[in-house]
Structure 1
């Protein structure tokens, strides 16, 4: 066959328009939302949505007239309308970039429908579309679209659409009338209309003051008639009123440079003080300016009752009961993402946990909140300013670096609330403090109260003192047996805590050992190669290479051996005996575990002084391993110019008095130091923290007659390990 070279033009198929409308738009609710956004772009101060079920026109038989109905959906706005030229060259052009290029409406609103596909959402709602629009020059243009024509036509340019225009004495407006038969109106029942109302209510930000004055002027009217008298609705869409009530709230703003402020407040108790929190991320947000308003609700029965007593009402202004209160929380929860006054679906839907809050709560239920406890929003900037880009299918944001950064910062803001909520609940008795295992075991083993009560009861009942003492002796034997069991359990707990510390830093351990293992894997196989080469040539240069590999193998072997030796106390399967420990040497061993990580991140340390203490080495290593691990994390997080950990060992006659551990990281907030929450099991200020590090360190200290406390500092974290034995002397 001879070569034939021609150029061709791509001709979209006729059903291409239907693909844009029906396949890219998620569902009927999303279709309505797209058309509402177009009304907003037209600078209208309101949009009217009217659903009605009517008899078909009388151009059919009487029999059919009685049985057939049509769905009519009218969406009307009172904006600037469109001229005939705009209708032909922009409205009828799929995926036009007109709004993308203009960015702003004549009144200065940021355009919502930038993809140029929203108007084709009408094809999901009915079989025909009637457009009637009046421009500011009083030019009225009418367009009738039958979507079936696109289905039948082979190519898009085969479809002919009649456009009529004339001059009228009418104010600017645009009206879309969508009609559909049984297959369309059967899609709508009471449940579906309730879902539509929910979508429209969540479309607009929950608090009016969060949006500018022009956006507040945009109202959504909804009317439903002709389906059932029970479904008839005529209302102005407003946000759910529950948002005005909350147990805990955090709100504020973070600028694109990473600085900002937050405010934390509690409504659950009277006379609580609004707390202001300064934010400094040390890096730009990389997702633009962000504004937050997040409200959290406790879900215990007592908390629900308090919420009702503070004036919880439904959307009709009627006070609700417990079941209704829970239902309102269930349908209203979620953190929405809003841009220019409109929510980006499905972010904020109850079933769409875009922040993975439920996953975090499973790991740490005492501290973290679940998605069904929170109602709120994050306001973001335009795509150009934030790089937060909406998907073409209108199903959320593109999962790029900016989106991941938005997730990180939002979770950081929520963590600020979670930490304070944890403290408040503990203070008012809503959260039972988790006692250390050892304290709990000691309480179980002690029978002192029982002995006192038994002694008094027996004596008062007339039993002789001798007989009573014999009973107490039996109880003492039981107590001794329990004490021995508790001692065994405490030893086991200490072993498990050491192993937990080992597991906590496993990433560091793997990194430290991987260099040596990689050397063995890559270099040792070369020895055989050089041996074979030597046999063939008798050249001693190959012997030199073997010797060089052997020397380096010895170095890496010692590295691994030293690493395992340092880790051995933490990994011990059996509890050692107490012995005299030189702190400077033991702390140096702990630092050496993190040597490569500290080198990679340019973190230095200094140990000043020395002292001895009689203690279990595995406990001392657990204390300092956890403290160093925490310091490294927050130093990397802060990423300032001076990254250093200082250890000061203060002794008296060479006997330890106390150790100060300081770093130049982010520091610890004052309220956490005062209420000692940081030592509570499961409490953590790290986004993915387990809350075991400081708890293990604190319990390991107590086992050895030490006390670990946090002190105030304006330069970073500051811990002090005190030898209580010195104070007692």
Structure 2
């Protein structure tokens, strides 16, 4: 029996390299990564248009003859597979042994001058030999000791600054590649794109550890320094985080947006900031010590960190601001803000200090890979909004996420264009969103404090009341001319009012303003009610579809029994069953469509006992196996309200309870509602026997009042539900100057509890 060996066609080996390094920019990046892996502190790229050549030089460890023969010349073999930590302690980025084909991607021919501790060597290859030869073993390269120095190897270089920077840094060890007969047309656009890619190739925080230069025939070393990004962008907030292998998580938030100047103590006192806030405004970081599971609360108590160690830094900078807001919120003004979002914008991922594309790539769909824009669109509230949740937009945040080859659950795709979409990558995205949310909460907290201070200082209500008073005085003065002639005091009041402003005109403007505001408030109420209708319909759309389908079938069966079979008994049976289906469908319509009828859209004194009883009855007719206990403490409970507001509160509460029952294995599916009438307020105590709030909300139940907060998940672990029901309730209660107390949810392991107060008008 003859043993035969496998072989590889030379051109096939070349195609493997081309498949992995298909683009010019990718080839450049691969070679720069190799210089970093060689422990270089400097990498120089020099494009010479006159000779159509590219030089790549570094002051790394160089290559010995043994390394060149055993590793560099063996495709697929890399010194970094087993020993991936360099002598200086760097985690090396390459391991596949095909990065050298990046040289083939760039040019036809390549000449390498390398200096190691063992001496100097020159290696030369013509990549076209791979196309001419049959087998990989037929392709050869030249390897010999040079007769010239580094200075001599660079003798033809036109730009003397390139020579100087290489000679000054490659005194002991290093490598220089000279690539000739370049395959691409290196026009201005290509060069600009390469420079932009190199700027973000490594995080700017590494500038002191690794510098990259890109020269042409004319520029100086100062112009060629692609990582010189001092003051490239300033920031209003800085958020750093670090996750350890055991899950311990540390977050630091730095407020850099506000400057109270000489009025520091005054503003702190007026806005009622805490003593801790005072230190945070002076530069101290807000430190949060938690763990990975708590940062992913919707995943469950026992959730473990399967990603490994990783860290990151995020910078927030608002895009624009008005003069009024700058004065109101004491923005720290900066004159050196350079908008370079086309380069630095987006959140980028770095593996072992090198960029993982395409995350954060400008002008691509991967720029917003965390989907921050969609998140913002769903919650467009301003930072000062008292009940809405402010969300940062994608063009306001810049960041770097640092992972390593040690994060084996976040593997690179084979084409080096991103990370494989593992479950850990989904966790990483969810974790980052929750880190961003910590910053959002802090910024909104500050804005709300400053906004409340502003309103208190401005005393708008007092000014409006004074105008109204003067308007009444002027009107009374004109209607009673006799009294006006006899009373010098009133005449003085009238003159005073006229000198201030025409009071009647001012009152007309204010009344119009109040009318516009009232119309907008009514419109918002209606929209919230319609949103509730949509939430309920969406939540139970399967049940509604099922009823509709059964109703259609029964009608068809009745028709066939009466027309085809002449069977009156069966026909009547199917008609009666269809009638039951119709009643069931009508009950859903009462719960949804019935809530927006015109008679419920008028502010009026309403019998809450009747209204709430009818709402609960409609739900009872719709639900199966759910018990609703309704209790009124008082023989007559009335409130001046929009009836559909009250229905909206109860429909959202009951819909949430029913959703909770779906994941609760207990047969006890009950809801209890107690409505009490006090002298100045209506108290509604609501509770159910469902599974209760998840751990994500147990420590801070009021978080569920923010928009898009939902702990409902499908079988894939993805968040479902609109997360708007409790926000609608909170906004509605706020319209009645009321409040919601959710503190009882912190006491019990199961069940949901809410105490709602509505102030009588």
Whether TM exceeds 0.5 here: the answer is yes
Quote the offset at 1:510 in angstroms: 0.9
> What SS does the aligned partner of 2:419 have?
coil
Corresponding position of 1:405: 427
- Judging changes above 3 Å, is the alpha-carbon distance between structure 1 residues 697 and 652 closer, same or farther for their aligned structure 2 residues? closer
> What SS does the aligned partner of 1:358 have?
helix
1:479-628 residue pairs with structure 2 within 5 A? 493-520=524-551, 556-572=581-597, 574-575=599-600, 578-581=606-609, 585=613, 588=616, 609-611=631-633, 613-614=637-638, 616-627=642-653
Quote the offset at 1:391 in angstroms: 2.5
Question: Of the candidates 196, 199, 216, which is equivalent to residue 197 of structure 2?
Answer: 199
Quote the offset at 1:116 in angstroms: 3.3
1:309-708 residue pairs with structure 2 within 5 A? 321=335, 325-351=337-363, 352-365=367-380, 366=382, 367-382=390-405, 385-386=408-409, 388-429=410-451, 451-457=468-474, 464=481, 493-520=524-551, 556-572=581-597, 574-575=599-600, 578-581=606-609, 585=613, 588=616, 609-611=631-633, 613-614=637-638, 616-627=642-653, 649=674, 651=676, 657-661=682-686, 663-666=692-695, 693=725, 696-698=728-730, 700-701=732-733, 707-708=738-739
- Judging changes above 3 Å, is the alpha-carbon distance between structure 1 residues 308 and 419 closer, same or farther for their aligned structure 2 residues? closer
> What SS does the aligned partner of 2:339 have?
helix
Corresponding position of 2:162: none
> What SS does the aligned partner of 1:327 have?
coil
Question: Structure 2 CA distance, aligned partners of 1:26 and 1:359?
Answer: 33
> What SS does the aligned partner of 1:420 have?
helix
Question: Structure 1 CA distance, aligned partners of 2:453 and 2:95?
Answer: 49
> What SS does the aligned partner of 1:581 have?
helix
Corresponding position of 1:187: 186
Give unpaired runs (5+ residues) of structure 1.
Answer: 1-6, 55-67, 209-215, 313-320, 434-439
- Judging changes above 3 Å, is the alpha-carbon distance between structure 1 residues 383 and 124 closer, same or farther for their aligned structure 2 residues? same
Quote the offset at 1:622 in angstroms: 0.9
Question: Structure 1 CA distance, aligned partners of 2:61 and 2:114?
Answer: 10
Question: Structure 2 CA distance, aligned partners of 1:133 and 1:269?
Answer: 53
- Judging changes above 3 Å, is the alpha-carbon distance between structure 1 residues 525 and 258 closer, same or farther for their aligned structure 2 residues? farther
Quote the offset at 1:579 in angstroms: 3.2
- Judging changes above 3 Å, is the alpha-carbon distance between structure 1 residues 220 and 265 closer, same or farther for their aligned structure 2 residues? closer
Is the Cα–Cα contact under 8 Å of residues 246 and 296 in structure 1 kept in the other structure?
yes
Deviations along 1:87-113, one digit per CA (max 9) or x if unpaired, are: 345433444577456655577644422
Quote the offset at 1:508 in angstroms: 0.2
- Judging changes above 3 Å, is the alpha-carbon distance between structure 1 residues 653 and 241 closer, same or farther for their aligned structure 2 residues? closer
Corresponding position of 1:59: none
Deviations along 1:67-93, one digit per CA (max 9) or x if unpaired, are: x52423123342363544x43454334
Question: Structure 2 CA distance, aligned partners of 1:48 and 1:621?
Answer: 68
Give the TM-score of the pair, scaled to structure 1: 0.70
Corresponding position of 1:436: none
Aligned residues: 650
Quote the offset at 1:390 in angstroms: 1.8
Quote the offset at 1:51 in angstroms: 0.8
Is the Cα–Cα contact under 8 Å of residues 205 and 342 in structure 1 kept in the other structure?
yes
Question: Structure 2 CA distance, aligned partners of 1:510 and 1:595?
Answer: 13
Q: Is 1:178 paired with 2:164?
A: no
Q: Is 1:17 paired with 2:14?
A: yes
Quote the offset at 1:653 in angstroms: 8.8
Question: Structure 1 CA distance, aligned partners of 2:726 and 2:239?
Answer: 26
Q: Is 1:267 paired with 2:256?
A: yes
Question: Structure 2 CA distance, aligned partners of 1:100 and 1:135?
Answer: 21
- Judging changes above 3 Å, is the alpha-carbon distance between structure 1 residues 504 and 670 closer, same or farther for their aligned structure 2 residues? same
Question: RMSD over aligned Cα, in angstroms?
Answer: 5.6
1:131-146 residue pairs with structure 2 within 5 A? 131-133=112-114, 138=118, 142-146=122-126
Q: Is 1:296 paired with 2:319?
A: no
Corresponding position of 2:36: 40
Does 7-16 or 127-136 show the bigger shift? 7-16
- Judging changes above 3 Å, is the alpha-carbon distance between structure 1 residues 133 and 721 closer, same or farther for their aligned structure 2 residues? same
Question: Structure 1 CA distance, aligned partners of 2:551 and 2:478?
Answer: 79
Give the TM-score of the pair, scaled to structure 2: 0.68
